[in-house]
Structure 1
Amino acid sequence: MGAHRKGAGPAAGLPAAGGRDRYFDALRALALVRVVAYHAFGWPWAGLVLPSMGIMFGLAGTLMAGSLRRPAPTVIRSRLRRLLPPYWFWGLFVVAAMLVHGWMPGWRIVYWVVPLGDPPGDAWAEQVWEILWYLRTYVWFVLLSPLLLRLFRLAPVPVLLLSLAPALVLRFAWQPPEDRLGSALTDLATYLFCWILGFAHHEGVLRRLRPGAVVPLCVAALACGGWYAFADRAAYGTYDLDENPFAQALWSAGAVTLLMHAKARLGTGCAGPARFPRLDRLVTVFNARAVTIYLWHEIALVLAVPLIDLCWRVPAFEAYLPLGSQWFLFGVGWVLIVVFVLLAGWVEDVAARRRPRLLP
């Protein structure tokens, strides 16, 4: 589990087919910005400020529960259809670059077709392909959702609380193998609570729970997650939640529950962006191009480095631009992300059976 891989995540919450919820849209956009910032700066405290992956899995669980009013096979096909074409388009370039670089895949190249396991790749492009853990985890949650939703409806609150049990087992009872299977099991266990929490929001369970019961439990989860993050620094070499699955599970559970309970119980909205048309438009673009931004942002950050190196050869740029600043790299990265959104974002429209557009 590399330091850069866990703080990312699309935005598995694909845009809803019906009306928009601007509160969730704004959360998803903020999560994407935090993902890019984390990968550009490597801030270990970023997950403590905004657990972007927990948010994205929670929002995706809400959308999945709503979609399962239709037959499960239809819903699963629809979700995969909207995810896989952007993944294939991006993968064509990544796989081709690795092949040119001398990489030769084995049978696991099938995971570049459907990411049921971690797609293979060479170390040269590891920063680019390692983010695919999120797609693999998302696909498995989608496949398991019909069963998980049935279990949840049998006993909503107990199932929600028990969804933390796998993380507890992996932390205290059984050490998963340090291979692809172990990584997949760890990721599923870490974010299972957030996915089930999305069910709880959609089914109205969160709305019925009183703040007096929810808030103390959330504070306790945050306290325990923070304690384990800092107590395990010697073992993991950092307090970064992305390196500590158990701390991540607890912290994400507490923080995402508070965010979603506020929405369910208090009717929290997000009217701020609507008062600023350009900001509101930006939120819309982020949500409609979430998969594109997630997949291409690491390539943008990687390409920003040689571009900045070229700028050092121009005396005027060297004199007046902060070429050595990480913030400058962050800015160049976003410029390249915009370019990739314009060049590749239309694939998301095709996948969703919409008319292709440069910007939604």
Structure 2
Amino acid sequence: MTSTAEHEGYASGTDPTATLKLRTITVPEPFVHPPEEAEPAPVVRRGVRDRYLDLLRALALVRVVIYHNFGWTWLPLLFPSMGVMFALAGSLMARSLNRPAWSVIRGRMRRLLPPMWMFGAVVLTAMIADGWGPHAEGHPNWWWGKLAFWVLPLSTPPFADTVHGFSGHLPTSWAEQCVVPLWYLRAYLWYVLLSPLMLKAIRRLPWVTLAVPLVLSAVLNSGLVDQSGRIMETATDFTTFGSCWLLGMAHQEGLLRRIPQYVVPSLAPLVLAAGFWWLQQAPVDDPRVGPDLEAVPLAQAIWSFGCVMLLLHLSPSWERWPKPLERFNGVITLLNSRAVTVYLWHCVALVLTEPLINPLWDNPFIYAHFRGVLTSQWLPLFVAVPLIAVALLLFGWVEDTAAKRSPRLFPYPRRSKGRRRA
């Protein structure tokens, strides 16, 4: 896994994230069918959660976990999670900026940083215990200075490329695998800091502003610009998903509702075709696997933009779940309430599946009768899910504290008394 390879992850879901304002949500009242007469499209009232956006965020988180487990290159084409998560975060950021900008930025940072600090406290301690330290990179003074990025991730926090693997129980690259989601927090922080300026630009020159990140992404990935270094790494991620963040802002501002209904369904397929064509031009490391959208920033920028256009154009704005989705209210609410925790810790859970599964190969009975299960890619996923649940219990409360809510171990919504399960 690489920083740009899945560009995942995660979540932001604290206003999230990614970051949506995660509040404990009560189970909605039964869905009431609208009257037969035609009515205008529903508009979500201020303070009421849009369950459609909650569904998109939950699907994005699930897709991130599945991609990191299987590495299926067709998954980002089916559902570009990171573009969706940034668009949702941009929409909520625009909604919040009717208040003083600094108070909004401070609130977003307060929700984002404490979960990261908890993650860093655990992962940094583990890396140091496994042999990483000031002399591991040959620049001890710089090592101490770069640790500041674990406090404020304006750039990628430092991590160990290789360590001892705790006497062979873990792969030597376990630290590199665990910190993959940190790129998302870095990009999200920059979007939050620049959102007041981005919102002003959207209001004055909406279409030009939407195109700027795509144009900058084309320039950065043209081969004419040296992309090495921390600054270019941050700039690449920022331009890759900048148009998605801006599109979320434009959606919140009602820009998409002011254009004819046929424009987005007519334009989006052309955008998707352009992104797919660019993806096919990219060099392929493994012809058996094919090109990976997550490894081609410009293709990912264009494809994500096209998909987000369609999803936001659809945007039914559910104040209550449609009847077929009521049964999923609990798990979707849980994922939205713990989006940052799921996003940060799912890679750690996947790494820890290796020392749990490997000893099973030494059991003669299991080896003889369940060898197919041991070789299946589904087994690590089934082992990782309970580990993610443990992470929610151990660290999820930090999201509640950061949001100034009463901490809860497992914020699964309770049914009202007397209500039957749908």
Give the TM interval when normalised to the shorter protein. Answer: over 0.9
Offset of 1:168 from its aligned partner? Answer: 2.1
- Partner Cα separation in structure 1 for residue 222 and residue 405 of structure 2: 48
State which of 170, 189, 192 in structure 1 corresponds to 2:220.
170
**Does 1:254 pair with 2:292?**
no
The answer on whether the counterparts of 1:26 and 1:270 sit within 8 Å (CA) in structure 2 is no
Normalized per residue, which structure has more helix? 1
Counterparts of 1:235 and 1:178, CA distance in 2: 20
* Structure-2-length-normalised TM-score: 0.80
Tell me, yes or no, if the aligned pair for 1:163 and 1:196 is still in contact at 8 Å.
Answer: no
The 3 A distance-change label for structure 1 pair 95 and 207 is same
Counterpart among 204, 212, 233 of residue 154 in structure 1? 204
Deviations 1:42-89 (A, max 9, x none): 111111010000000000000100111111110111000001111101
Distance apart, 1:131 and its partner CA? 2.0
Shift of 1:130: 2.5
Q: Is the 8 A contact 1:225 1:248 kept in 2?
A: yes
Residues 343/308 of structure 1: CA separation in 2 closer, same or farther (3 Å cut): same
Cα shift readout 1:301-322 (whole Å, capped 9, x = no counterpart): 0001110112334455443581
Aligned Cα RMSD in Å? 2.1
For the 8 Å contact 1:29–1:287, the answer to whether it is kept is: yes
**Pair 1:309-2:358 in alignment:** yes
Q: Unaligned regions of 5+ residues in structure 2, if any? A: 24-46, 135-142, 163-174, 412-422
Give the C-alpha shift of residue 179 in structure 1: 1.5
Q: SS of the residue aligned with 2:157?
A: coil
Matched, 1:218 2:268: yes
Structure 1 match to 2:155: 117
Whole-Å separation in 1 of the counterparts to 2:359 and 2:305 = 44
CA distance in 2, matches of 1:347, 1:194: 28
- Report the AA paired with residue 38 of structure 1: Y
In 2: Cα distance, 1:228 partner to 1:303 partner:
36
1:337 corresponds to which of 379, 382, 388? 388
From the superposition, tell whether residues 352 and 244 of structure 1 become closer, same or farther in structure 2 (CA, over 3 Å): same
- Structure 2: how far apart are the matches of 1:3 and 1:181? 14
Aligned residues with identical type, % of pairs? 46
Whole-angstrom CA distance in 2 between matches of 1:117 and 1:88: 15
> Which stretches of structure 1, 4 residues or longer, exceed 6 Å deviation after superposition?
none
C-alpha distance in 2 between matches for 1:281 and 1:249: 32
Alignment of 1:192-271 (within 5 A): 192-234=242-284, 238-263=290-315, 267=316, 269=318
Matched with 2:339 is: 290
For the 8 Å contact 2:4–2:237, the answer to whether it is kept is: no
Q: Residue 83 of structure 1 aligns to which amino acid in structure 2? A: L
2:65 corresponds to 1:13 = no
Deviates more, 1:5-14 or 1:58-67: 5-14
Alignment TM-score, normalising by the size of structure 1: 0.93
Distance in 2 separating the partners of 1:201 and 1:136: 24
Rg (Cα) greater in structure: 2
Contact in 2 for aligned 1:9/1:134 (Cα 8 Å) = yes
Equivalent residue, structure 1, for 2:195: 145
Note the C-alpha offset of 1:19.
Answer: 1.9
Aligned-residue offset at 1:208: 1.5
Count of residues in correspondence between the two structures: 357
Whether the aligned pair in 2 keeps the contact of 1:108 and 1:119 (CA below 8 Å) is yes
Contact 2:83 2:308 in 1 (8 A): yes
The one-letter amino acid paired with 1:326 is: Q
Distance between the aligned counterparts of 2:321 and 2:78, measured in 1?
20
Question: Does structure 2 retain, via aligned residues, the 8 Å contact 1:7–1:242?
Answer: no
